[in-house]
């Protein structure tokens, strides 16, 4: 059980959402249930229904909280590609705070006020850059997917597991890769450590974002 703050007097919608995010961070999204949260607060599950109607509403609220954490200069006058880069960076930063919950971003991009604002900004900057409506929709969608993929696939990350479990999982994965026949899978074995670990996480994220933005630039060049 994660650390608790007290009993029912601390109970509020914000507290429930924050505790749900903390629980997901510690044990994975599947651990988030109304019953478990009731135990965390020391109240019956029914007490939580005053603040969230059901688990679906709770998950939506958790996704909304991720978008609420996005920090972006919506008034930026930078070139379109730098603004697009900033969008993905901001998404990555917000999602890295709760990596087990990144899948909730898909369901709330158009369901939350902050998600809608971010989507409108991104679609607008792409249309003004000269992309077609179809290209704009696809690139905006890929911007979200790129952020989710980068956070979900962060080398060495094992969201929802403690440090000992993380190290054990990575050791098992590495052993599996190194057990592959060297004459058939030489490059997998060569890259085993790099696939499971990264010394410079900032570089990992910038490289991924660079690839995405370069693809968008190439698409616009082909359209012109």
For the record, the structure tokens of 161 come out as: 């597991």
Q: Is residue 66 one of the residues assigned to a domain?
A: no
Q: Is residue 172 one of the residues assigned to a domain?
A: yes
Whole-angstrom Cα distance, residue 60 to residue 215? 31
CATH of the domain at 35: 1.10.10.60
Q: Is residue 2 one of the residues assigned to a domain?
A: no
Whole-angstrom Cα distance, residue 207 to residue 216? 14
pLDDT value at residue 2: 56
Q: Are residue 43 and residue 98 in the same domain, yes or no?
A: no
pLDDT value at residue 224: 66
Distance between start and end Cα atoms, the chain: 57
pLDDT value at residue 7: 47
Q: Is residue 104 one of the residues assigned to a domain?
A: yes
Burial class (CB in 10 A: 0-12, 13-18, 19+), 163: exposed
pLDDT value at residue 6: 47
**Inter-helix orientation angle 55-68/113-129, to 10°:** 50
Residues 6+ apart with CB under 8 A from 121: 72, 74, 87
Length of the chain: 224
Whole-angstrom Cα distance, residue 25 to residue 19? 10
Instruction: Give CA separation, 13 vs 19, 22, 61, in Å.
Output: 10, 14, 9
Instruction: Give CA separation, 218 vs 78, 143, 212, 215, in Å.
Output: 19, 15, 10, 5
Q: Are residue 93 and residue 142 in the same domain, yes or no?
A: yes
Q: Is residue 69 one of the residues assigned to a domain?
A: no
pLDDT value at residue 8: 46
Give the range of the structural domain holding residue 177, as residue numbers without chain letter: 163-196
How many CB atoms are closer than 10 A to CB 143?
Answer: 23
CATH of the domain at 112: 1.10.357.10
Q: Over the chain (224 residues), what is each successive 10-residue block's mean pLDDT?
A: 52 93 92 93 91 94 94 95 98 95 90 95 97 97 96 89 89 96 96 93 96 96 79
How many domains, the chain? 3
Contact of 94 with 70, CB cutoff 8 Å: yes
Q: Is residue 64 one of the residues assigned to a domain?
A: no
pLDDT value at residue 106: 85
Q: Are residue 91 and residue 122 in the same domain, yes or no?
A: yes
Q: Is residue 58 one of the residues assigned to a domain?
A: no
Q: Are residue 88 and residue 137 in the same domain, yes or no?
A: yes
């Amino acid at each position: 059980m994660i650390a608790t703050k007290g009993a029912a007097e601390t109970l509020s919608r914000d507290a429930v959402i924050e505790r749900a995010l903390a629980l997901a961070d510690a044990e994975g999204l599947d651990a988030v249930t109304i019953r478990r949260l009731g135990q965390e607060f020391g109240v019956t599950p029914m007490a939580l229904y005053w603040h969230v109607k059901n688990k679906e509403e709770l998950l939506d609220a958790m996704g909304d909280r991720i978008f609420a954490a996005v920090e972006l200069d919506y008034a930026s006058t930078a070139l379109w590609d730098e603004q697009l880069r900033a969008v993905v960076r901001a998404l990555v930063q917000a999602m890295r705070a709760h990596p087990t919950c990144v899948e909730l971003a898909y369901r709330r991009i158009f369901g939350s006020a902050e998600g809608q604002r971010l989507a409108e900004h991104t679609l607008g900057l792409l249309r003004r850059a000269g992309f077609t409506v179809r290209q704009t929709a696809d690139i905006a969608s890929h911007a979200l997917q790129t952020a989710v993929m980068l956070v979900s696939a962060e080398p060495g990350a094992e969201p929802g597991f403690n440090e000992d479990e993380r190290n054990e999982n990575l050791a098992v994965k590495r052993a599996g890769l190194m057990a592959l026949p060297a004459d058939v899978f030489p490059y997998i074995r060569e890259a085993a450590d790099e696939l499971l670990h990264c010394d410079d996480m900032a570089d990992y994220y910038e490289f991924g974002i660079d690839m995405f933005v370069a693809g968008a630039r190439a698409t616009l060049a082909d359209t012109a």
